[in-house]
Homo-oligomer: A and B are copies of this chain.
Amino acid sequence: MGITKTELFSEVDNQIALAAKAFAHPARVAILHYILKTNACINSDLVQELGLAQATISQHLRELKDIGIIQGTIEGSRMNYCINPARWEEVRALFLGVFDQYLPGSPGGCC
């Protein structure tokens, strides 16, 4: 159907899935990389950097903002997007929590 049965899953699983969507499209990863590199960015820069239309980038930025991983402050007629440190750490912790459940030297009782 295309609709996710959110109610079937644990709070953590839903949280991780939500956070993962920030990284689940290369444009958003590229945006994050760009923000991280320049440590501040504006929408019009990204239109040059990536080859996507302004409306498309604005949409991706909004998704990242909805997820909470970035925040934007108005600077005159420009927007200043940057990482939301608290949320970044939160998302980082969510993923580390998963990754750390399987380490190279895990028991390994099957295939």
Residues of A within 8 A of B (CB): 4-6, 8-10, 12-14, 16-17, 19-30, 32-33, 36, 39-40, 50-52, 71-73, 80-83, 85, 88-89, 92, 95-96, 98-99, 101-102, 104, 106-111
Contacts and interface: CB of A to CB of B under 8 A. Distances in A.
A71 to B, nearest CB: 7
15 contacts: A4-B27, A6-B26, A9-B26, A9-B30, A13-B26, A16-B29, A20-B23, A21-B24, A32-B98, A39-B106, A39-B107, A39-B109, A40-B110, A40-B111, A71-B111
B51 A5 contact: yes
Number of copies: 2
Contacts of A25: 4, 17
Contacts of A22: 20
A74 B75 CA distance: 59
A58 B108 CA distance: 23
